[in-house]
Amino acid sequence: MKELTIDATVENIEAVTAFVNAQLAAHACSTRVQRQIDIAIDELFGNIAYYAYNPDVGAATVRVELKDDPLAVVITFIDNGVPYDPLKKADPDTSLTAEERDIGGLGIYMVKKSMDSVDYEYKDGQNILTITKNL
């Protein structure tokens, strides 16, 4: 398992993405799967940056673990910010036009649809969001 602790800022999304991609490079991850993971990182780390500590800046930890049987990557995002379970938000009605839909929720919906599992828990004062993607 590899771990990166970094300030939860929008500017650091690129560093987090590079960190995760470096772990995936050694495991022949397809471009399609890597793109899905990159989008998930952008959404999830971006949400931490925007909302967890607002208006302050705090740290976030990103853990990357590769599993066998089946080959999968497990990425965990941990922060000490405001408790928030994004999985409790109702999925947006994608049959509506963008103008008709309520703002928010589309990003986490995309993450839930593109990952093999998405789990959240609040434990010991920490938001812990874990995504798993089979490789």
User: Residue 114's closest CA among 21, 12, 43?
Assistant: 43
In this prediction the pTM is 0.91
| CATH number, domain with residue 119 | 3.30.565.10
Q: How many domains does the chain have?
A: 1
Angle between helices 13-25 and 31-47 in degrees, nearest 10: 150
In angstroms, what CA-CA distances link 18 with 24, 67, 69, 106? 10, 20, 25, 24
pLDDT per residue of the chain (135 residues) written in tens, 0 to 9: 999 999 999 999 999 999 999 999 888 789 999 999 999 999 999 999 999 998 899 999 999 999 988 889 999 999 999 999 998 877 655 666 666 656 666 678 899 999 999 999 999 999 999 999 998
The domain in which residue 45 lies consists of 2-134
Rounded CA-CA distance 45/65 in Å is 17
